Amino acid sequence: MPKTDRRINRTRRQLADAFIQLCLERDYEQMTLRDLTERADIGYATFFRHYSDKESLLNAILEESISTLISSVNALSDQPELMMTTLFKQLLEQPERYQMLVKTRHISHLLERVMTIGSAMFIEQFAHQLKANIPPDLAARHVIGAVINLIEWWLEPSNRIDPKRMGELINSLIMQPLKDNPALES
């Protein structure tokens, strides 16, 4: 493994931090690279030595977030509810980063990758006990989309209710209703 130059890490960290800050303060679209490099306190031309354009930096941050999240969750794919609570706890580690991904509408890219780990198993596990006449495509899309929707809601600072409770709610509002004989719980 090649050690990366400290200066490279420093520059990229400054860029990522400035990017997240500016995204939350202003708007992604109208944020210029001049704004960004000034906030990051690096030379304008230096940006292009690391990323080809603004979107490329965003994708780098996205991919890094995906790796972090997946490696903390992929061992739990057989325990959906524990996987969910673990996911929520992980999100709390760097809230600004994930709020930025909500604002730029890239959080779904991230969560689709994460959810695919769990939902593939979920679909396989429940395929034979799906409610009658529910198209499997629709079921899969509903699980992933509805969970993402609640996570986006939960990322708002005033909505950060207990991760364990969120896991229960997701199970009761989204997972169980797909089953033929839903277990009744509070």
Partner DNA sequence: CCTTTATGATACAGCGTATATCATAAGCTA
Partner DNA sequence: TAGCTTATGATATACGCTGTATCATAAAGG
List of residues contacting DNA (CB under 7 A): 3, 5-8, 10-11, 32-34, 41-46, 48-50, 52-54
State the binding partner of 75 from DNA, its own copies, none, CB within 5 to 8 A by kind. Answer: none
Segment 144 to 173, residues that bind its own copies, using CB under 8 A: 145-146, 149-150, 152-153, 159, 161, 165, 169, 172-173
For the chain, the straight-line distance linking the first and the last C-alpha, in angstroms and rounded, comes to 51
Residues making up the chain, counted from first to last? 186
Note whether 130 binds its own copies by CB under 8 A. Answer: no
Note whether 138 binds its own copies by CB under 8 A. Answer: yes
49: nearest Cα among 37, 38, 67, 32: 37
3-state secondary structure of 162: coil
User: Which alpha helices (DSSP H) does 26-126 contain, by range?
Assistant: 33-40, 54-71, 80-91, 95-103, 107-126
Binding site residues, its own copies, CB under 8 A: 105, 131-135, 137-138, 141-142, 145-146, 149-150, 152-153, 159, 161, 165, 169, 172-174, 176-178, 182, 186
